[in-house]
Amino acid sequence: MSAEPVTIGLISISDRASSGIYEDKGIPALTSWLNGALKNPLNIVSRVIPDEQRLIEATLTEFADTHQCALIFTTGGTGPAPRDVTPEATLAVATRVMDGFGERMRQISLHFVSTAILSRQVAVIRGQCLIVNLPGQPKAIQETLEGCKDSGGKPIEVGIFAAIPYCVDLIGGPYVETNDNVISAFRPTSARR
């Protein structure tokens, strides 16, 4: 049985990257990680936009409603600076808030940097789409999704992606299958295919 296709939205939120001052690294890092972590054929929809709340809200809405993404990841704009408005935009388009994701992301990041407590990342549901705010740096993106491992490769802290496929199941999205050598999806025994 082959895995069903999944549409995933990737939005990099950065004034400097959107204006060409520097090259965005978040979307390429996420695309590479997803291609290695998932067995499903992927339809990636992506965009680099500035830190403008209304534009972020419009892009999230377009990706969820028009492109019918099952999952959207944003990178950037989650700190305490005045122009960091990604969480506000994400919450504005939400039908439900998934507090556990933000808590878990900060918990994982604290293994690497003490400034993780400054992050305001959130995750929400809009219809049948899960939207998750991720960090902007490729290394931090991977750590957040996969978690922490000891020197032997054994997980110390499981990354947030372990819970994402089951969440997508519960909101009526496609069955997301992972490559266990990257991240193992958690599903109750009754929910497994």
Radius of gyration of the chain (CA): 16
Answer for the pair 122, 97: CB distance below 8 angstroms, yes or no.
yes
Distance separating alpha carbons of residues 69 and 30, to the nearest angstrom: 15
Residues 6+ apart with CB under 8 A from 168: 70, 71, 130, 174, 176
pTM: 0.95
The predicted-structure confidence for 12-61, as pLDDT tens digits, reads as follows 999 888 888 888 999 999 999 999 999 999 999 999 999 999 999 999 99
The predicted-structure confidence for 81-117, as pLDDT tens digits, reads as follows 999 999 999 999 999 999 999 999 999 999 888 999 9
The predicted-structure confidence for 126-176, as pLDDT tens digits, reads as follows 999 999 999 988 999 999 999 988 888 777 889 999 999 999 999 999 999
Domains of the chain: 6-191 (3.40.980.10)
More confident residue, 85 or 2: 85
Distance separating alpha carbons of residues 34 and 43, to the nearest angstrom: 11
Parallel, antiparallel, or unpaired: how do β-strands 71-75 and 123-126 relate? unpaired
Residue 66 phi, psi (nearest 5): -85, -50
Name which of 50, 65, 55, 45 is nearest 16 in CA terms.
50
What confidence score (pLDDT) does residue 191 get? 62
Average pLDDT over residues 65-81: 96
DSSP at 189: G
Percent of the chain predicted with pLDDT > 70: 97
What confidence score (pLDDT) does residue 189 get? 79
What confidence score (pLDDT) does residue 75 get? 96
What confidence score (pLDDT) does residue 192 get? 63
